[in-house]
């Protein structure tokens, strides 16, 4: 039996979060735009059906059939229009217009409403094939509207000789099946999206400390430096590691070394700002990418980290408390320099200067930048 949690997990797929919709739209946009060629091809080519069914009436449906070529505009619209909601509205409007045109065609064919009633099922496949990049709510709504619209036109007398009972028996079971298919597709995409995000987070996160890893950090610092140069904003880098870390491992065990690493990661997260990126480069070495921060501001954060580290106790395997210190190097990216290699090398060199200077201190980059 399903619990309340299971039911809520299913219902949440009807309200896809915006990140899911953005990714879904990005993945399926090209596919959707190509599929809009299908109504034009099918709508125009089915004039042959008109001719076979009623050669005389088919003379009056050529112009209406050519109206289906209007869907060929949508591949270009999908390429140049960025507003997804506008495209959703326009796509539904196109489907409703196509249904209206199809009804006009059937009215011009002798016994068209009898022989062509099965053609309405084609419109139910439009959301399934062409609206994949839209939200599941849009897909469900469009399927419902496409099923209801011809019946409504029949009730108000626009669709002449509309066979309401036959239509309901044929179309509504198909519409329900299509809605279930939309739900299944949305469920499958959501599960795949969440799996991909989990894998991406795992691949970009250090498993011991929970901060970013080097793999994620290198492209991040590259992008942020390019952005800072474009906007003329400062960006700085802190690199630090634990003093005499090997001694901690050798004397107190690797579990104590891991505890020191985790403690330092926690301190870095606490002292860094929301916009900063904390990364474990490897071993006991960490880096903090500071956005919108000059050298002086970066040194202020580095000092808070240094002071907090020397006051943070680590409990060893034997329940003894030990303390550790850190050596820190700080560098600011110069104006006109777009190379992440420069700031990494400068901050790393400054950290080793702090080691030489006696550890438990902060040094800044001293090598001038020349273009």
DSSP string, 98-159: HHHHHHHHHHHSTTHHHHSGGGHHHHHHHHHHH-TTS-HHHHHHHHHHHHHHHHHHHHTTSS
Q: How many CB atoms lie within 10 A of CB 232?
A: 7
Give yes or no: 284 in active site: yes
Place of tokens 């560098």: 331
From 206, 276, 284, 348, the catalytic residue: 284
- Check if the beta carbon of residue 336 is closer than 8 Å to that of residue 229: yes
- The CA-atom distances, in angstroms, between 282 and each of 71, 202, 334 are 55, 16, 26
- Check if the beta carbon of residue 136 is closer than 8 Å to that of residue 186: yes
Q: How far apart are CA 341 and CA 346, in angstroms?
A: 9
Quote the Cα angle for 309-223-273, to 5°: 30
Q: In sequence order, what are the beta bridge partners of 322?
A: 314
Q: In sequence order, what are the beta bridge partners of 345?
A: none
Which residues are known to be catalytic?
284
């Amino acid at each position: 039996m399903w619990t309340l949690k299971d039911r809520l997990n299913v219902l949440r797929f009807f309200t896809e979060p915006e990140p899911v919709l953005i990714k879904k739209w990005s993945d399926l946009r090209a596919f959707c735009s190509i599929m809009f060629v299908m109504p034009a091809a099918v709508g125009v080519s089915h004039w042959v059906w008109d001719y076979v069914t009623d050669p005389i009436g088919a003379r009056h449906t050529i112009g209406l059939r050519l109206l289906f070529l209007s869907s060929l505009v949508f591949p270009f619209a999908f390429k140049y229009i960025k507003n997804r909601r506008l495209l959703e509205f326009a796509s539904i409007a196109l489907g409703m217009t196509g249904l209206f045109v199809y009804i006009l065609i059937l009215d011009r064919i002798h016994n068209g409403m009898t022989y062509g009633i099965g053609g309405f099922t084609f419109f139910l496949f439009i959301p399934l094939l062409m609206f994949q990049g839209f939200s599941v709510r849009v897909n469900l709504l469009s399927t419902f509207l496409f099923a209801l619209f011809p019946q409504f036109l029949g009730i108000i007398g626009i669709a002449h000789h509309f066979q309401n009972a036959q239509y309901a028996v044929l179309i509504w079971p198909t519409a329900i099946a299509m809605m279930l298919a939309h739900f299944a597709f949305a469920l499958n995409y959501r599960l795949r999206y969440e799996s991909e995000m989990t894998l991406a987070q795992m691949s970009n996160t250090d498993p011991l400390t929970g901060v970013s890893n080097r793999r994620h950090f290198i492209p991040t610092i590259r992008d942020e430096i390019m952005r800072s140069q474009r906007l003329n904003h400062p960006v700085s880098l802190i690199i630090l590691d634990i003093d005499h870390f090997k001694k901690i491992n050798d004397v107190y065990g690797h579990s104590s070394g891991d505890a020191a690493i985790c403690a330092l990661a926690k301190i870095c997260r606490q002292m860094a700002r929301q916009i900063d990126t904390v990364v474990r480069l490897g071993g006991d070495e960490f880096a903090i990418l500071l956005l919108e921060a000059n050298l002086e501001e970066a040194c202020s954060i580095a000092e808070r980290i240094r002071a907090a580290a020397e006051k943070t106790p680590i409990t060893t395997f034997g329940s003894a408390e030990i303390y550790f210190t850190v050596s820190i190097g700080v560098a600011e990216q110069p104006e006109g320099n777009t190379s992440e290699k420069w700031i990494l090398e400068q901050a790393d060199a400054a950290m080793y200067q702090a080691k030489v200077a006696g550890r438990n201190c902060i040094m800044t980059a001293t090598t001038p930048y020349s273009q």
